[in-house]
């Protein structure tokens, strides 16, 4: 969908905006999500102690009446150091006929519901477990998108994307290493209720030696060293599960297919969201893996474990706003890893949050998370977060 652009925003007079996202979290160390091979840094959620996460600086403008562009840089902390990442740098058409638009450059994929949105717009401190486990919180890459919005009363959006495959969960050596096709539908039940549903299919190539994950190590080694685990060393079944899978996120060679279904329902009296509203959103992931796990041996990939199985996961969230300044929400996430990774254990997490908005531009949020993403290592996580926006921002998507 073409963005709404002010006439004053031109290549000579661009719009500059910034988002500050800081907080404090009390938690145990992150030791992984189940036995899944994941991108450790992006899947961990907030660090213990004070943190700076996804603080962004954005520059956007219309080049002319046909093209619009945006650049977004993000500051994040990894392993105690601050890193600058280029999250977006794209150009998009604004005046193509028949509801068509084209976007090219680096941008966030239209996979599912949350992925295309900046994390600072979320209602929670971190992304649900299923996003952190399967796509490292969000998938963005270099590529091109063709999008079409139907000229109908019911909202219908269809699109296709082709990416380089240079970001987790893809790891491709070819020119096109990931593709995504999607469809979104929406309408109003009445003046107070509206809905949107979507389906998408992302296919990634994973070539050994091309992985871009921040964490090239094995999260399970950390799990073995945790003090709480000592009490369970005598349980043979659990010990076998811990050491039955020893590969990391970069040790897979093959293809992955992500099938995602999402649904969102919003209620607000007479469509006025300022004073009272209720939002329910849910997503379901089915991830099929077809390939091999292995390691480098004398300069070549050595196959060790065949993987032809699937993982599933879902989350559901309800957020209720009872005044212009206050809202609260509850979210539940659960994963079902394949037998390769798990002996039946299902990682899960429950989040409770309350936030206070002094204005549309500043939010203070408190969140409690009951994290059960590692077997026999439950964690109670408490977070306080401040999100503040400076400069003009486009309207948030549905």
Q: Enumerate the domain spans of the chain.
A: 15-390
Q: How far is CA 56 from CA 88, 113, 388, in A?
A: 10, 21, 11
Distance CA 12, CA 71 (A): 15
Half-sphere exposure of 295 (CA within 13 A, CB side): 7
Distance CA 87, CA 107 (A): 7
Q: How many residues make up the chain in this entry?
A: 398
Q: Which residue has the tokens 């006929």?
A: 97
Return the higher-pLDDT residue of 75 and 395.
75
What is the phi/psi pair of residue 224, to 5°? -65, -25
With beta carbons less than 8 A apart as the criterion, state whether 197 and 112 touch.
no
Which among 123, 233, 107, 81 is positioned nearest to 159, based on CA atoms? 107
**Mean per-residue pLDDT for 51-57?**
89
- Total Cβ atoms within 10 A of residue 253: 19
Lowest mean pLDDT among 91-95, 236-240, 309-313: 236-240
Residue 233 has pLDDT above 60, yes or no: no
Radius of gyration of the CA atoms of the chain, in A: 21
Distance CA 194, CA 320 (A): 15
Distance CA 134, CA 116 (A): 15
Residue 245 has pLDDT above 50, yes or no: yes
With beta carbons less than 8 A apart as the criterion, state whether 315 and 333 touch.
yes
With beta carbons less than 8 A apart as the criterion, state whether 261 and 198 touch.
yes
- Indicate the class that CATH gives domain 15-390: mainly beta
Q: How far is CA 281 from CA 196, 217, 267, 278, in A?
A: 9, 34, 12, 10
- Total Cβ atoms within 10 A of residue 330: 14
Q: What is the pLDDT of residue 224?
A: 41
Structure-block tokens of residue 205: 């190539």
pTM (2 d.p.): 0.89
Q: Which residue has the tokens 């959006």?
A: 157
Q: What is the pLDDT of residue 209?
A: 84
Distance CA 237, CA 388 (A): 48
Structure-block tokens of residue 24: 């404090």
Q: Which residue has the tokens 């603080």?
A: 55
Res. 321 pLDDT band, cuts 50 70 90:
very high
Residue 327 has pLDDT above 60, yes or no: yes
With beta carbons less than 8 A apart as the criterion, state whether 373 and 36 touch.
no
Residue 292 has pLDDT above 70, yes or no: yes
Return the higher-pLDDT residue of 225 and 296.
296
Residue 324 has pLDDT above 60, yes or no: yes
Beta bridge partners of 257: 203, 288
Return the higher-pLDDT residue of 53 and 213.
53
**Residue 41: its H or E element:** helix 40-43
Cβ within 8 Å of residue 291, ≥6 positions away = 206, 252, 253, 254, 255, 256, 307
The pLDDT tens digits of the residues spanning 186-225 come to 999 999 999 999 999 999 999 988 887 665 444 444 334 4
Residue 367 has pLDDT above 50, yes or no: yes
The pLDDT tens digits of the residues spanning 5-40 come to 444 455 557 899 999 999 999 998 888 899 899 887
Q: pLDDT exceeding 90 applies to what percent of the chain?
A: 67
Beta bridge partners of 142: 106
Res. 395 pLDDT band, cuts 50 70 90:
low
**Residue 40: its H or E element:** helix 40-43
Distance CA 144, CA 157 (A): 16
- Mapped onto helix, strand or coil, the DSSP state of residue 365 is strand
Return the higher-pLDDT residue of 377 and 286.
286
- Average pLDDT value over all residues in the chain: 88
Half-sphere exposure of 181 (CA within 13 A, CB side): 0
């Amino acid at each position: 969908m073409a963005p709404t652009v002010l006439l004053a925003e031109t290549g000579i007079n661009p719009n500059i905006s910034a988002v500050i996202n800081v907080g404090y979290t009390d938690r145990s160390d992150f030791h992984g999500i189940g036995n899944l091979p994941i991108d450790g840094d992006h899947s961990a959620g907030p660090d213990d102690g004070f943190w700076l996460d996804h603080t962004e600086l954005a520059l956007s403008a219309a080049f002319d009446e046909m093209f619009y562009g945006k650049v977004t840089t993000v500051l994040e902390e990894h392993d105690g150091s601050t890193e600058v990442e280029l999250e977006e740098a794209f150009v998009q058409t604004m005046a193509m006929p028949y509801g068509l638009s084209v976007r090219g450059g680096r941008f966030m994929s239209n996979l599912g519901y949350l992925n295309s949105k900046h994390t600072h717009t979320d209602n929670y401190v971190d992304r649900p477990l299923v996003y952190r486990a399967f796509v490292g919180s969000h998938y963005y890459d270099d590529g091109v998108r063709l999008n079409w919005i139907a000229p109908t009363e019911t909202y219908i959006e269809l699109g296709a994307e082709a990416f380089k495959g240079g970001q987790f969960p893809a790891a491709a050596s070819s020119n096109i290493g990931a593709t995504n096709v999607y469809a979104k539908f929406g309408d109003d039940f009445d003046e107070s209720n509206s809905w949107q549903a979507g389906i998408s299919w992302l296919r990634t190539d994973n070539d050994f030696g091309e992985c871009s994950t921040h964490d090239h190590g094995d999260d399970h080694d950390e799990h073995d060293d945790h003090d709480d685990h000592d009490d369970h060393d005598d349980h043979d079944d659990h010990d076998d599960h811990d050491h039955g899978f020893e590969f990391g996120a970069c040790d897979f060679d093959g293809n992955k297919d992500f099938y995602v279904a999402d649904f969102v329902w919003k209620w607000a009296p007479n469509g006025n969201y300022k004073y009272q509203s209720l939002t329910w959103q849910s997503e379901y992931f089915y991830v099929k893996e077809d390939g091999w796990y292995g390691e480098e041996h004398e300069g070549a990939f050595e196959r060790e474990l065949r993987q032809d199985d699937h993982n599933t996961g879902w989350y559901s969230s309800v957020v209720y706003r009872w005044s212009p300044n206050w809202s609260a929400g509850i979210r539940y996430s659960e994963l079902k890893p394949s037998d390769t990774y798990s002996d039946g254990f299902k990682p899960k997490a429950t989040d409770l949050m309350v936030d206070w908005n002094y204005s549309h531009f500043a939010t203070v949020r408190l969140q409690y998370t009951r994290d059960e993403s590692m077997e026999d290592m439950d964690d109670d996580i408490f977070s306080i977060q401040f999100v503040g926006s400076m400069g003009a921002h486009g309207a948030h998507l549905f």
